[in-house]
């Protein structure tokens, strides 16, 4: 999707979310020394590609309060599994 989205001849926006804040959610990488998850790893190679391609990388730890202010000092970790709607 990140290779497809910025292609074409109109305005496009490529964005990756770096899950680096265990207080808001799980922190995983292995980019920037974070633990490697079994699926969906954010590898150093992907991080370098994002910089080369001009994709925006948003850090949950450093940037997320610009989008969603974090009001609780204790924080709440979340783990949500989204399943597709099978209703037709």
**What is the per-residue pLDDT across 6-27, written as a single tens digit (0 to 9) for each?**
777 888 788 888 988 888 777 8
pTM over 0.75: no
Tokens representing residue 2 in the block:
């990140």
Residue 21 is assigned to a structural domain of this protein = yes
Q: For residue 33, count CB atoms less than 10 angstroms from its CB and return exposed for 0-12, middle for 13-18, buried for 19 or more.
A: exposed
Asked if the structure places residue 41 within a domain, the reply is: yes
78 is a domain residue: no
Which domain range does residue 21 map to?
Answer: 1-60
**Structural domain count, the chain:** 1
Residue 81 lies in a domain: no
- The owner of tokens 């099978």 is 86
Q: For residue 35, give every residue at least 6 positions away whose Cβ sits within 8 Å of its Cβ, in sequence order, or none.
A: 27, 28, 29
User: Which band of pLDDT confidence, cut at 50, 70 and 90, is reported for residue 82?
Assistant: low
In-domain check, residue 43: yes
């Amino acid at each position: 999707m990140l290779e497809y989205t910025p292609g074409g001849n109109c305005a496009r926006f490529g964005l990756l979310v770096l899950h680096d804040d265990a207080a808001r959610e799980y922190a995983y990488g292995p980019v920037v020394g974070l633990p490697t998850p079994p699926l969906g790893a954010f590898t150093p190679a992907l991080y370098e590609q994002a910089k080369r391609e001009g994709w925006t990388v948003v850090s949950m730890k450093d940037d997320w309060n610009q989008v969603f202010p974090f009001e609780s000092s204790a924080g709440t970790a979340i783990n949500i599994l989204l399943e597709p709607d099978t209703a037709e």
